[in-house]
């Protein structure tokens, strides 16, 4: 599952995150779940929006044609039949946008449709707990490290209530 950088001790923008939480709590207190319960996808959406805002600001600050707006949408009567003027230049600006976001580092590259930095995943394993089963992180992935053991978890309890991994099954190489 995708996770934010703070889960794997990667850098993230605490100042921006705290400011966003304060604004959310101030203006929409009935929807603010508390800082520890914010869904990761909300933070990804925040960084995506911040990317567009920063890119638009950068693009419009360098736009040379003062007789027309830097961004203009034609055929705007139907949302699926729109054309963004200067779209190629604007997309080039987005691809060079780089910042430390609330979910981790945000960086793009030409010919890649996803972030190239600040992408993290974990794999969870079903583990017994006192009264039920829990999903516990056991592996983590990042662009720079690939897959490695998730170091912030307790030991893995394997079937048969043992600490020894079972044999005779497919294994993940290099972990």
Angle between helix 40-62 and 14-27 (nearest 10): 110
| Beta strands in 70-142, from DSSP E residues, in sequence order | 72-74, 83-85, 98-100, 105-107, 120-128, 133-142
Q: Where are the domains of the chain?
A: 2-107, 119-175
Instruction: Give this prediction's pTM.
Output: 0.81
d(CA 112, CA 96): 12
Angle between helix 40-62 and 87-96 (nearest 10): 120
Indicate left, alpha or beta for 161 from its phi (over 0: left) and psi (-120 to 50: alpha).
Answer: left
| Beta strands in the chain, from DSSP E residues, in sequence order | 2-3, 72-74, 83-85, 98-100, 105-107, 120-128, 133-142, 146-149
Residue 35: per-residue pLDDT = 94
Residue 175: per-residue pLDDT = 66
**Tens of each residue's pLDDT in the chain, 175 residues:** 999 999 888 999 999 999 999 999 999 999 999 999 999 999 999 999 999 999 999 988 887 766 777 777 776 677 676 677 788 888 889 999 999 999 999 998 887 778 888 899 999 888 877 888 888 888 898 888 888 888 777 777 777 778 887 777 777 776 6
Asked if 102 contacts 43 with a C-beta cutoff of 8 angstroms, the reply is: yes
């Amino acid at each position: 599952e995708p996770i934010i950088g703070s889960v794997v001790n990667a850098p993230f923008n605490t100042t921006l995150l705290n400011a966003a939480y304060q604004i959310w709590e101030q203006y929409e207190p009935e929807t603010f779940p508390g800082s520890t319960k914010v869904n990761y996808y909300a933070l990804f959406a925040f960084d995506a929006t911040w990317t567009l805002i920063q890119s638009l600001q950068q693009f419009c600050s360098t736009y040379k044609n003062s007789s027309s707006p830097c961004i203009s949408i034609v055929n705007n009567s139907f949302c699926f039949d729109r054309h963004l003027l200067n779209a190629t230049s604007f997309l080039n600006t987005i691809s060079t946008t780089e910042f430390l976001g609330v979910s981790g580092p945000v960086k793009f590259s030409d010919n890649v449709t996803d972030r190239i930095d600040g992408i993290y995943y974990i794999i969870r394993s079903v583990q017994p707990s006192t009264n039920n089963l829990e999903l516990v992180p056991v592996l983590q992935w990042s662009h720079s490290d690939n897959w490695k053991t998730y170091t912030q978890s307790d030991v893995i309890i394997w079937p048969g209530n043992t600490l020894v991994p079972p044999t005779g099954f497919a294994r993940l190489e290099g972990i």
